[in-house]
Structure 1
Amino acid sequence: MSNRTVWQTAFGGPENIEIVEAEVPVPGPGEVRVRVAAAGLNPVDWKLAAYPALAEAFRVTVPGGYGNDFAGVVDALGDGVERWSVGDRVLGAARGHAIAEFVVVPATKLVAVPGGVSLRDAATLDIAGRTAAAAVDALELTASDTVLIGGAAGGVGVIAVQLAVATGAQVIATASESNHDFLRELGAIPVAYGAGLAERVRAATDRPVTAATDLQGTETVDAALALGVSPERITSIAANGATLPEGVIATGGGNARPDALADIQRRIADGTLRLEIAGTYPIEETAAAVKRLRDGHVRGKLVIAVDPALV
């Protein structure tokens, strides 16, 4: 039984990515082995491979495996696992070794994938779904709100925009011009990012902006404060809490409610939330996919099809 695995041979860029034949992992007590169908790429993946200090903080080793998000089918159970059965469709996270034919993870870290959700789509959700839910939930939006979402066309942003629209709030979303029609389709009012953002937001709505979330850096935080938004109603996923203005909420996937991914998948299955997959690559072309992600301006997510028969 093979276990083709994406391997980062040294710190740096996608030029250091190889496909190697690794041992098939064996699940220990409380663990589950998953035959991976697909893995979703996140910006943090290439950053961990590029920056030693960041890798150390996340306990990722280089040389070593690659990726975090995956979805697949339960293949084997360790002793004491009762929640799962062989053949169950699941998604999860395997920090630093997700892009492989087989991964072993704690049984408690898996989430069921329901009918109506493909394993390809499920593979994009662990980081982006949790992070989007955390960023939007913390704002406690209602129909009386107007919320500014920065970085709205990325993997997290596409989900966050739709979760915010579902609350009834008016959504102002920043993105490059090429993504504006797409954001309108999601129910948002698009504006271009960059210098002069606050002025463009004022021109886009006659309602006061009451909340904001910044999914890329601090530009949207600064614009929201200039627009008079209370710091306690601004969230940011891309900046360390110590660097944010006082009162602004630093958040991330770790702050998501336990049922966040189940809720997002229900919305996907019933057609009220759409995912945007910018490209699906075979495992042999992982380096090309990482390069595309690193180059920026990817709408939605990029996916590695590890086992096309399961995707």
Structure 2
Amino acid sequence: MPRAVRFDEYGDIDVLRVVEVDRPAPGRGQALVRVKAAGINPGEAYIRQGLAADKWPATFPSGQGSDLAGIIEELGVDAGEFELGDEVFGFTHKRASQAEYVLVDIEDLVLMPTDVSWDEAGSLFVAGTTAYAAVRAVSLSEGDVVVVSGAAGGVGSLAAQLAKNAGATVIGLAGQANHAWLVEHGVVPVSYGEGALDRIQVASDGRIDAFIDTFGGGYVELALHLGVHADRINTVIDFDAATKYGVKAEANADAASAEVLSELAALIAKGVLEVPIARTYPLDDVRDAYRELEKRHTRGKIVLKP
């Protein structure tokens, strides 16, 4: 029998388990995908911990995961132009991708480009569409100066690159260990922590047009202190601050489509966007994968390999 990640109650990492489940059968407009890679995301940890129960409650037993890449094993009727054996990537809204097999609506799948790896494609949906929405929200133009917090993280690393591709000068807040990576990608690195405001002002020569917050913990307030107008600040995580100060909070839901995924994958294939893969784990080590993720010091993405 195929296996999948499950949890039966809210809690810490130890509630996660890998269990045998029935093999799903595709319905109309669905494909059964054998998963080759499934990225993990902080939002999944918040849901499992019950921290988002008012907004995204879990129904137990609950699966996990949205991101996926794999091979089509079965097709339901009305499957469009997809065929058995097609290599695809995409997403599911059913909290189900961290499994050996997952049912996916045809409209949420994209054919794999030849120059994109399983790990990149399988971890692109949440982080990629969130970064895409955040960059679009702050309306960057050629020559703008934008600050990205958490600039080496799963979302931040992509947002920084997309902002650079838009013609902006990008200042990336990150730990010293990630500064070389940022420089390699055309981003001006600045260390986070005490004194960050002064360091940003020096790095920007006093001009900052926009701010993208991918980390939370006071960066919205920092952006306002730097003189950035509220309509050019976007946070993908600090929703309380967004409400309090009237800044934007556009994220995954604002760009969640196969069309955006296709656009991002094309950038990867062209070599102008990199999805840094911090580490991969077998499905059985899902607890270890989330243990590393929840330290919040990962460069890029962590991927499960069913």
Q: TM-score, normalised by structure 1?
A: 0.92
Q: CA deviation at 1:112?
A: 2.5
Letter in 1 for 2:87: R
CA distance in 2, matches of 1:243, 1:226: 15
Q: Report the CA distance between 1:260 and its aligned residue.
A: 2.2
Query: 1:1-311 maps to which residues of 2 (within 5 A)?
Result: 2-51=1-50, 54-55=52-53, 57-94=55-92, 95-217=94-216, 219-240=218-239, 243-256=242-255, 258=257, 259-306=259-306
Q: For the Cα contact (< 8 Å) 1:218–1:236, is it kept in 2?
A: no
Q: Which amino acid aligns with 2:62?
A: G
User: Is the Cα contact below 8 Å between 1:231 and 1:245 reproduced in 2?
Assistant: no
Q: Distance in 2 between matches of 1:91 and 1:245?
A: 37
Closer/same/farther in 2, CA of residues 217 and 303 from structure 1, 3 Å limit:
same
Q: CA deviation at 1:61?
A: 2.0
Local SS of the residue matching 2:52: helix
Write the distance in 2 (CA, Å) between the matches of 1:64 and 1:232. Answer: 37
Q: Hey, what's the Cα distance between the residues in 1 that align with 2:108 and 2:138?
A: 26
Letter in 2 for 1:240: F
Residue equivalent to 1:309: none
Query: Which residue identity is paired with 2:156?
Result: G
Three-state SS of the structure 1 residue aligned to 2:156 is helix
The one-letter code sitting in structure 2 at the alignment partner of 1:270 is K
Task: Tell me the distance in 2 between the aligned counterparts of 1:296 and 1:279.
Answer: 14
- Tell me which stretches of 4 or more aligned residues in structure 1 moved more than 6 Å: none
**Distance in 2 of aligned mates of 1:5 and 1:278:** 22
Kindly provide the CA deviation profile for residues 214-267 of structure 1, in whole angstroms up to 9, marking residues without a partner as x.
Answer: 111153222221121111111111022674444411111111275322121111
Query: Tell me, what secondary structure is at the counterpart of 1:250?
Result: coil
Task: Indicate how the Cα distance of structure 1 residues 193 and 241 shifts in structure 2: closer, same or farther if over 3 A, else same.
Answer: same
TM-score, with length taken from structure 2: 0.94
Taking a change above 3 Å as real, the CA distance of residues 114 and 59 of structure 1, as seen in their structure-2 partners, is: farther
Q: Please list the CA deviations of residues 41-98 of structure 1 after superposition, one character each: whole Å capped at 9, or x if unmatched.
A: 10111111111x6246324323321222111111111122213221222222234221
Q: String of CA shifts for 1:191-216, please: whole Å, max 9, x gaps.
A: 12223322111111225101111111
Query: Structure 1 residues 261 and 241, CA, compared in 2 at 3 Å: closer, same or farther?
Result: farther
8 Å CA contact retained: 2:42, 2:294 = yes
CA distance in 2, matches of 1:197, 1:304: 34
Letter in 2 for 1:66: Q
- Report how many residues are paired: 304
CA spacing shift, 1:169–1:86, aligned 2, 3 Å: same
In 1, Cα distance between the equivalents of 2:131 and 2:20?
35
Matched residues in 2 for 1:30 and 1:305: separation?
Answer: 26
Q: Which digits, 9 at most, give the CA deviation of each residue in 1:133-187, with x for residues without a partner?
A: 0000122212221001111111001111111111221101111122112111111
| Closer/same/farther in 2, CA of residues 59 and 112 from structure 1, 3 Å limit | farther
Q: Go from structure 1 to structure 2 and tell me whether the alpha carbon gap of 1:301 and 1:248 turns closer, same or farther (over 3 Å shift).
A: same
Percent of aligned positions with the same letter in both sequences? 38
Q: 2: CA distance between counterparts of 1:69 and 1:290?
A: 15
